[in-house]
Chain A
């Protein structure tokens, strides 16, 4: 132990120990000389004999060094010092190398940090693997996630036997009043044990729990940290505060911590208010009806030790049993079933393919950086051939040389990794702002230990990866030959050129893969821009209104169709007088395209179809004012639009979209009836028109079957105003809010945006992955062209003499050019061919990100190789054309 300390101490004070030893050795030699002189030798002889008696001075010193210190560590320090010196001597090379590496490693860390937070880290709840979502499907009717009824929820809670807790989830809007104006907030209605289910604790106060359970709403509500700070100024005495939500009174009993997030979809942002509801009292019909699926969905915690598969089997048994008990509610042909899915998968499943593809792409970028670095190092080591040969001649072993060269490359990549981490840590905020805001779990992205470890490992591995081959290569020298070559002025061997060529071909192949990926995304994006959304976004402004939904139906001023119609007509009358507005329309629930829908699909029957008795179907539904389709410029294909006379006093009518007609109806659509439940009654609705499909979910998602109801034949909670004119004119957004509040000051207006902005948001994720891929692709192209330029320039300079001789012998400039271009062309073609083969495999992974193109898109797979070949040939052509211009005499003499 004591020796270890002494040794470590000597590591850092090596110089001092060496000086002490020098002094001791020379003292020793002096004593020996004295002795020999005493024996009568001459001074000269005595000195000589003293040296002989002592033995090899340098060898003794080396032994001493080895004894007093830890040799390999000391050598590493020496290597590091040497690497630093030699890197500092070539600042240009070092800067380029560190920057390239920082870019490659930094991109990987950044993407990994996101993947880590979004996909790898478990959700921030205890035993989050037990959390599942429960969805109702009507597989026979093509209905997914159609919602569940309260009796079904009770069956799940009380009879399934697989859940510790289960809570319904009802995301929605609500009107929070009490401040200077009524504000729309994001509400989540849950069952009473929602927080116990998640195991979530409040930051302040308490949360509601199973003891608060009752058929109606619990008076105690919980608010988010965001709402607490924004609306209540972070008041520490908030607990017990009475608030009015949708005209009903509640008491705030708790505030959640800032990092608590509801682990499922919401409408417009993070949940701001949690309220508990038994779903069996006002404002929902009571007693609840089994076939009326008013609950959008549920979250549950599995009993410990139960796998999802086992739980699913239990649920399958339960649904079979229920279908037998209630044959009328569960017709066999519609195949009602319950589906369990891990909460994490529901939350992040949709971004997984994007992130995985980006991670793969960024990995390719790093690979390219490494290959590029390897190629640079080979070039550098051929310049250092002589130095290495001298070292070897002086007795350095091959392993020792490899170690020294590796130290240099690892040092470079560690510097790159460090630079990357620093830049990322400093720019984290602005980088996150670049991410599409609808990416789930974005707030959980941190540079935690895992990311730092990855950064270190990545740097180290990259350093070894790009350093090892050139080091092995450079160290396998024959000192004899290389010393001679070195003196002759540095003609490098054929072997070395071949090795660099292989590296460059690899670079080209890698960039083909990256560019193909980018190309496919560009083509997909182009397709989404060209897609006909079913409306004309030019000059459209949308403003959303929340009609409060008080628990006591009598309190609801808008609970009848005439009330809604009156309100709508008044808003439209005022909106048409706004400056710059030419046309206006309104819509009810689900009428706004490209936003998250609240409502599930509606199940319905088709009495006029031959299989009507057994076959239930499901489709989206929306309610719209008579002007809606004309204002949005959605073409009518058959029949008629709604009119002012389609009211609750007239025949019930619907308009279906094209997909609906194609998928569900045989024979002429207009005149057929569809039958579905509104409120407590089933009714027949006559189809009066067919309109073109509107891309309601997203521009890159095909339209689903959908039917529209007249706004004046029912009620609505979510409403929206659609204005056409010059919506960008300043003040219009405020003016729209103004007219709504002039009609009813208690109605909150929100989400006032142009349809163009909404389209941009809808494409944000696609745009994001596209931009990243495009940057990666451009980077790859750049690195590959530098690589091929480097090797071609070198090859041409090597063959300058040969070219001169040929020209002196009468070769034309064209012949020389072709001669100089040929190796580059062969290299490029080899790389492109390899890359195409690899890309064919790699791009299949991207299938789910593509839109309107196949993974083997001919346009991409022709344009990418052609572009690359052109760029590569240009990179070859520059040095080749230089070769032609060298005056033969000059080259011959050099």
Chain B
């Protein structure tokens, strides 16, 4: 594994989970590809991530019991694993969103004062 890839994931570490949860909340049950496509779309290609890097986040969230995966068919009849928010996941999303707002607000405040 190259050190570059590693550092990129670490940058995303805290936020990726939140983003995935939020995306699932918006879209409803969705497969990894769908989540990745949505992220690219929303970020207007600013956030260019290797789609494979989503998987650690998915397994982490699933092990925490916040999402649950289930195999299903796409509209085109392809099989895919659909992830859906659990009740605990919805609650976690609220908490994480709150935490993120606080954190980003704090960072924003600090940045303003420094400039």
Contacts and interface: CB of A to CB of B under 8 A. Distances in A.
Interface in B42-89: 50-53, 55-56, 59-60, 63-65, 74, 76, 78-81
B81 A55 contact: no
Nearest to B69: A24
A886 B91 CA distance: 82
B63 A60 contact: no
Contact of A55 (B52, B63, B65): B52
Contact of B56 (A31, A32, A67): A67
A54 B49 CA distance: 9
B50 A24 contact: no
A24 B53 contact: no
Given A34-B78, A54-B51, A59-B1, A6 B63 contact: yes
Q: Which are the 10 A-B pairs with shortest beta-carbon distances? A: A55-B50, A60-B52, A67-B56, A31-B33, A6-B63, A55-B52, A3-B63, A64-B55, A68-B59, A63-B56
A24 B81 contact: yes
Contacts of A56: 5, 50, 52
B19 interface: no
A64 B74 contact: no
Nearest to B1: A59
A798 interface: no
A2 B65 contact: yes
A67 B52 contact: no
A70 to B, nearest CB: 12
A63 B51 contact: no
A71 interface: no
Given A28-B31, A28-B32, A31-B33, A60 B64 contact: no
A2 B64 contact: yes
A67 B59 contact: yes
Contacts of A30: 78
Decide if the interface of chain A is mainly helix, strand, loop or mixed: helix
Contact of A2 (B34, B50, B59, B63): B63
A53 interface: yes
Contacts of A55: 5, 50-53
Contact of A28 (B9, B33, B59, B60): B33
A10 to B, nearest CB: 9
A209 to B, nearest CB: 68
A21 B31 contact: no
A867 interface: no
B76 A67 contact: no
Given A2-B63, A55-B50, 4 more contacts: A24-B32, A56-B50, A56-B52, A64-B59
A62 B80 CA distance: 21
Chain B interface size, as a band, is 20 to 34
B39 to A, nearest CB: 12
Contact of A54 (B9, B50, B80): B50
Residue of A21, A25, A28 with most chain B CB atoms under a 10 A cut-off: A28
A184 interface: no
Nearest to B55: A64
A57 interface: yes
Given A27-B78, A54-B52, A67 B60 contact: yes
Interface string A2-21: 11001100000000000001
Nearest to B9: A63
A32 B51 contact: yes
5 contacts: A27-B33, A28-B31, A28-B32, A53-B50, A63-B1
A581 B40 CA distance: 114
B5 A59 contact: yes
Contact of B64 (A3, A24, A25, A32): A3
Nearest to A59: B1
A611 interface: no
A66 interface: yes
A25 B54 CA distance: 11
A31 B52 contact: no
Contacts of A57: 52
B29 to A, nearest CB: 15
A66 B52 contact: no
A610 B53 CA distance: 107
A227 B34 CA distance: 88
B1 A62 contact: yes
Given A27-B79, A27-B80, A31-B80, A59 B52 contact: yes
A24 B52 CA distance: 11
A683 to B, nearest CB: 99
A185 B9 CA distance: 85
Given A24-B81, A28-B51, A64-B59, A34 B76 contact: yes
Contacts of B59: 64, 67-68
B52 to A, nearest CB: 3
Nearest to B88: A2
